[in-house]
A = this chain, B = another copy of it.
Amino acid sequence: MKRNVLIIGAGGVAQVTAHKCAQHAPALGDIHIASRTKAKCDEIIASIHEKGSLKGGGALSAHALDAMDTPAVSALIRETGAQIVINVGSPFVNMSVLAACIETGAAYMDTAIHEDPEKICETPPWYGNYEWQRRDACARAGVTAILGIGFDPGVVNAYAKLAIADHVPDPVSIDIVDINAGSHGRWFATNFDPEINFREFTGTVYSWQDGAWQTNKMFEVGKVWDLPVVGEQKAYMTGHDEVHSLATHYPNADVRFWMGFGDHYINVFTVLKNLGLLSEQPVKTAEGLEVVPLKVVKAVLPDPASLAPDYEGKTCIGTQVRNAAGAEVFIYNVADHREAFAEVGSQGISYTAGVPPVAAALLIADGTWDTGTMVNVEELDPKPFLRLLDGMGLPTRLRDERGDRAWDE
């Protein structure tokens, strides 16, 4: 059965998701893109036509939408006949979009935890603050809601599930490692909106270790990882969504997230933070002008979208699982910035986040993942998902004592 898709958001990730939906339109249905600024949706549609990404004869339409307005989202779902909503908008709109899905019966997906603009880094487990409070409502309405179905969270949760099911039972540790070994050629730039980027690293770092939530500061705990393709890379324990669901589902394992940062990034971040230039609180200049320092930093930094054409190199993101018997597996993907740009006009980081929800949409459309309730990705069968991704530009590999190979060899 065909299922019309409504994509909410029009940023770099939405661009990838829209391209991939267009490539798979025959297995889905009409494709709709909605954002506060309709012109950004029109640009994405133009780039889809330019790349010749649209397959089949379905519709491809742009809509203006305030995604914080649940009745407006419900109305658009009904108007478009969307049965699958892929929310790749700002993390502030998750709950209003989910409410519209519960009301209309459409399937819901997002790629990042809900955030309240007023708060940074709330109590763990983060999913318990908003998402899981709507689990019963989803079940009652028979609504499929797949939380965090980007790459990380998302694919890495499926990697954890696969590792534990087939390779390393009774895990003692689950470590997600996210390395961007690419280079944009600028002296300094953030890969996405500097306001959101820096915001992610100014709060508490939560990890689940020894059966309890542990707290650290950003850049406090570092470790060198020796990874396929990208080699030795320094990564730092970082707060991240998937720690909060994996720790709940595998409470006997330590669950940590590690993100790679070069010394240069850390240095710039540290200088800006310590000077107070990352503050969201306004300061007053000698001339009496009130201004938020972080917004000035954002204004002087390169526009993240401008980085894609020059981005080169690779990302490596994966999940390492170990158990007490000494078994260890690392399941991962390597993506290439230039290939991503050539295919969909975005850099590799947007690519890895934007493709997985389309694979999930295909699995909802064919019934495989149409759960009729709210789930995190590790609650689903990972194999059909990883098989689809293998053919959609995000192949999965596996490294263990038998060597490095495709995950299903």
- A residues lining the B interface (CB < 8 Å): 187-188, 267-268, 271-272, 274-277, 279, 283-287, 289, 291-293, 295-301
Q: Identify the interface centre among A187, A275, A299: most chain B CB within 10 Å of its CB.
A: A299
Q: Identify the interface centre among A275, A284, A289, A292: most chain B CB within 10 Å of its CB.
A: A275
- Provide the residues of chain B in CB contact with A187, threshold 8 Å: 274-275
- Provide the residues of chain B in CB contact with A287, threshold 8 Å: 295
**Judging by beta carbons under 8 Å apart, are A283 and B268 in contact?**
no
Partner among B267, B285, B298 whose Cβ is within 8 Å of the Cβ of A299:
B285
**Judging by beta carbons under 8 Å apart, are A299 and B272 in contact?**
no
**Judging by beta carbons under 8 Å apart, are A285 and B289 in contact?**
no
Q: How far is the CA of A284 from the CA of B301 in the complex (A)?
A: 12
Q: Identify the interface centre among A271, A284, A287: most chain B CB within 10 Å of its CB.
A: A271
**Judging by beta carbons under 8 Å apart, are B285 and A296 in contact?**
yes
- Provide the residues of chain B in CB contact with A276, threshold 8 Å: 300
Partner among B272, B285, B292, B297 whose Cβ is within 8 Å of the Cβ of A298:
B285
- Provide the residues of chain B in CB contact with A301, threshold 8 Å: 275
User: Taking the full assembly, how many copies of this chain does it contain?
Assistant: 2
Partner among B274, B275, B292, B299 whose Cβ is within 8 Å of the Cβ of A283:
B299
Partner among B277, B298, B299 whose Cβ is within 8 Å of the Cβ of A300:
B277
Q: How far is the CA of A297 from the CA of B293 in the complex (A)?
A: 8
**Judging by beta carbons under 8 Å apart, are A283 and B300 in contact?**
yes
Q: How far is the CA of A276 from the CA of B301 in the complex (A)?
A: 8
Q: How far is the CA of A287 from the CA of B285 in the complex (A)?
A: 17
**Judging by beta carbons under 8 Å apart, are B295 and A300 in contact?**
no
Q: How far is the CA of A272 from the CA of B267 in the complex (A)?
A: 11
Distance (whole angstroms) from the CB of A218 to the closest CB of chain B = 17
**Judging by beta carbons under 8 Å apart, are A291 and B297 in contact?**
no
Partner among B271, B274, B296 whose Cβ is within 8 Å of the Cβ of A296:
B296
Given A267-B267, A277-B296, A293-B300, 15 additional A-B pairs, CB 8 A: A187-B274, A188-B274, A188-B275, A268-B271, A275-B297, A276-B300, A285-B298, A285-B299, A286-B295, A286-B299, A287-B295, A289-B291, A291-B291, A291-B296, A293-B296
Query: Which 4 residue pairs spanning A and B have beta carbons closest together?
Result: A276-B300, A285-B295, A271-B271, A283-B299
- Provide the residues of chain B in CB contact with A286, threshold 8 Å: 295, 298-299
**Judging by beta carbons under 8 Å apart, are A295 and B289 in contact?**
yes
